[in-house]
Amino acid sequence: MTVANPRHAAALIPLLWLATLGQASAGMTVITLTDIARARLDALSFFLFAYLFISWLVKLLWNYLGKTFTALPKLNYRRALGLVFLSGMMFYVVLTMISGAREVMTPGAWEKQGIGYRTREGGVAYLGKDERRSALRELQEAIWAYAKQHGGKAPPGPLVEGITPELWQFRGGGLYCLMSDVRPGGGREVLVYEPSTAGGRRFILLADGNIEDRDEGTLKSDLERQFRK
């Protein structure tokens, strides 16, 4: 009788275990991960795989460049892991600084969450174009009413007596910007425009009463043209 190779027999053990796993657990208490825990484990596994794979690519690329640039020291896999880790930490710090600067540049539109920032509830990301246009139209009506009582002149600035202060508040954060030297009632000059918290394209109120939107570059050019007059 021929005796099976012990190495072949050992290789069959995991296969037999996998084949009988479903029947062995039937009717028994089985401890499994929740859906959230499984999703986090999958994400962590993918991150770890990506980290190891990228480190391996960095090692190959570094040593390949070392053939041309002989001043570069040879990089082993352990050092490649450290290099990728330090680079990742550096980018993380830079991105954290950018998110903080974004709050400074657009006050009121973001709120702190942990060590990062997210868009504030009720901010511009939650405002539709119709809602923004409607809010600017309400402010336009108040400015026109003010102009009738003051010889056709626009208010000297926001928060003046005779106009409800809430109308000047942009719902995405900040106040509407007013060009007080522009007379309401005619012309294509910019009279009021949304603050920088609006981001992207901003709505503007023209002197003739029309409401339009402008991208950042076009709005800046229009305002510079008005200042030169």
The DSSP result for 80-125, as a single string, is HHHHHHHHHHHHHHHHHHHHHHHHHHSTTSEEEETTEEEEPTTSGG
Nearest Cα to Cα of residue 171 among 154, 206, 195: 195
As a whole number, mean pLDDT of residues 103-130 equals 58
Is 161 a residue whose pLDDT tops 60? yes
Higher pLDDT, 41 or 20: 41
Q: What is the rounded radius of gyration, in angstroms, for the C-alpha atoms of the chain?
A: 32
User: What is the spatial distance between Cα 1 and Cα 9, in angstroms, rounded to a whole number?
Assistant: 16
Confidence (pLDDT) at 122: 47
Note the pTM of the prediction, 2 decimals: 0.47
Pick the more confident residue, 95 or 205: 205
Cβ–Cβ under 8 Å, residues 156 and 178: no
